[in-house]
Amino acid sequence: MAFPSVESDLSPPVAPPAADTLELRRQRTRWLASLAAPAARAQRLAAIAISLSGVLLIGQAAAIAWLIQAVIVLHRPLAGMLPIVAGLTAALLGRALLSAWAQSLAGEVADTAKRELRGQVYRRLLGQGPLWLRQRRTGELGELMLTHGDALEGYFVGYQLARTEMVAVPLLILAAIFSVDWIVALVLLCTAPLIPFFMMLVGWGAEAAGRRQLGEMARMGGHFADRLKGLGLLRLYGRGEAELAGIAQAAEGVREGSLKVLRIAFLSSTVLEFFASVSVAMVALYLGLSYLGLIHLHTPGPTLGVGVFCLLLAPEFFAPLRRLAAHYHDRANALAAVAETERLLEGLPETVTVMTSATPPARALEISDERAPLLQVRQLSLRPRGARADVLREVSFDLESGRRLALVGPSGSGKSTLLEALAGWLPPEHGEWVLRPGVRVGYAGQRPYLFHGSIADNLRMADPQASDARLRAVAEAAQVMRFVEQLPEGLNTVIGERGFGLSGGEARRIALARLLLREPELLLLDEPTAFLDPETEAELLRTLGGYARGRSVILATHSQQAMAWADAIIELPSIAAPQCEDIDA
């Protein structure tokens, strides 16, 4: 038996697809913004708070410059400066309070966006259906709820707030400086556009690196979760040490990828700091030469107060850009998370129709005539996901209310596929099946999923409000009590994930009891008596017959007892078109 190595699972790194166009990037950005739509009020308040903080910043710089001009140049007494000092103190406190409020509001927006992302992902997974999920790695999909969701935190708390500040505050500062010295305003205006240009160039690389890194982490998480599930098998075949070494090597690769992303983030900050420093130095040089009388660009020249005002605000003009650069990699990580979500879910999870075993698919038409058969199947052809050819071709039959139909045939003849289609999991290739309105459908497959918890908890998945007496009744009907009474805590006995601690037959009986608790009008049962001894099988069919009186049953089986229990049989050959016995026979 060959085991896939860690290297084969985690290499080569995921690269952005060739079709990753500018329009796709815009769509992802719009979708990312839509996640925070329920918190639009908090977003607006955060923008107002950060803008008011910018206004107070200008007032703070003006107060400091006025104090210096008044004390040093005009030689005014300090006693007359108390109102200005009080205003300066109020501006400092106001800025601190507004910044804290803006951060709190941004955190609320981020929490809302993460909840919305996880909700949409969950609904999309439900909408894709069990057959699609079987072909995916659960650990990798789990990363959508964890790592990918957490990647939005920095985007809404850091980047979005810094972007709002960059739009509002530099314009206010530029207007204030222009009112006192247009030369300084012109220097700032000419150097500012260089920073977003270089940030954009660096940002493209950051987004690509971030997406590769998130892809690596998602695949490593999926690989590790798979190995945890198969740990006993790995140990049985002596693959434990080899897999451990492979995981260590993959973790080292993820570490190196993380450092590459950080390197790009630091590069973006360095580029911004360089241009900001050059611009502030030009302002300082102009003011210094003006005070020394070496240049005279306008008359009168700048006063000491004007110079201090401009020097205080020049670094603050670039401060929002610095903060934006510091959080620019958060934007790249968020867009990378969106791209990975789109890749793993085969599209962004927007409008989703959730399908369950009780919800017929869109192509399952409804019968308007109450006298018509409960179920009509007409020329139905089915092809499992990933298959190249149909496993069922042109199947037709009717099922009346209260009748039992057995699907028989060799393995691979399509019995399970037909049940999955009738459960709403698989759309037909051709033909249709028609169900009477209001009929609830229940399906119990060959591989039932049982959660970690007590047997009673697993049964109550079908009806959380079910009483203990009703729980015991369905457990008796499905022959669960036959083995549960021998367990230390009966129905309260805790079992492991996927039914660990139970045999295959016991797990199927619990799944059958869970289905009976839902009380469907049409029961779809896939090998319900497999792995049972003849006595237990006979008793299960007897109690199931009593429970299903008045209900319709379709079961796939190889058992002669189950065939005899059914009212009619459909034989599904492997290759030839299936032949159907008379349903009334």
What percentage of residues in the chain have a pLDDT greater than 90? Answer: 11
pLDDT mean over 383-398: 82
Place of tokens 């009907």: 477
- Of 41-50, 103-112, 203-212, 331-340, the poorest mean pLDDT is in 203-212
**Residue 352 DSSP one-character state:** -
> pLDDT at residue 576 above 70?
no
Peptide bond into 300 cis (omega under 30): yes
The pLDDT of residue 260 is 72
The pLDDT of residue 530 is 84
The CA distance from 179 to 183, in Å, is 10
Render pLDDT for 76-85 as a digit per residue (tens, 0 to 9): 887 778 888 8
> pLDDT at residue 553 above 90?
yes
The pLDDT of residue 405 is 93
The pLDDT of residue 10 is 37
The pLDDT of residue 578 is 41
Mean pLDDT of the chain: 79
The pLDDT of residue 450 is 86
> pLDDT at residue 567 above 80?
yes
- Of 187-196, 299-308, 398-407, the poorest mean pLDDT is in 187-196
pLDDT band at 166 (very low <50, low <70, confident <90, very high): confident
pLDDT band at 13 (very low <50, low <70, confident <90, very high): very low
The CA distance from 467 to 569, in Å, is 36
> pLDDT at residue 320 above 90?
no
The pLDDT of residue 404 is 92
Nearest to 318 by CA among 57, 93, 132, 566: 57
pLDDT mean over 169-180: 89
The CA distance from 451 to 310, in Å, is 66
pLDDT band at 210 (very low <50, low <70, confident <90, very high): low
DSSP string, 185-220: HHHHHHHTTHHHHHHHHHHHHHHHHHHHHHHHHHHH
pLDDT mean over 422-450: 85
- φ/ψ of residue 458, rounded to 5: -65, -35
**Residue 325 DSSP one-character state:** H
- Of 246-250, 448-452, 460-464, 474-478, the poorest mean pLDDT is in 246-250
Instruction: Give a three-class secondary structure readout of 274-293.
Output: HHHHHHHHHHHHHHHHHHCC
Render pLDDT for 212-233 as a digit per residue (tens, 0 to 9): 666 676 667 666 766 766 666 6
pLDDT mean over 273-277: 75
Q: Where are the alpha helices (DSSP H) in 292-353?
A: 304-326, 328-345
pLDDT mean over 16-29: 66
Nearest to 265 by CA among 201, 338, 320, 203: 203
- φ/ψ of residue 376, rounded to 5: -125, 125
pLDDT band at 548 (very low <50, low <70, confident <90, very high): confident
- Of 361-375, 379-393, 435-449, 553-567, the poorest mean pLDDT is in 361-375
- Of 188-202, 348-362, 470-484, 567-581, the poorest mean pLDDT is in 348-362
Render pLDDT for 64-101 as a digit per residue (tens, 0 to 9): 988 888 888 888 887 778 888 898 999 999 999 999 99
Q: How many residues does the chain have?
A: 585
The CA distance from 355 to 126, in Å, is 7
More confident residue, 7 or 525: 525
What percentage of residues in the chain have a pLDDT greater than 70? Answer: 80
> pLDDT at residue 150 above 90?
no
pLDDT mean over 155-166: 86
Domains of the chain: residue spans and CATH: 25-345 (1.20.1560.10), 365-580 (3.40.50.300)
pLDDT mean over 438-466: 87
pLDDT band at 290 (very low <50, low <70, confident <90, very high): confident
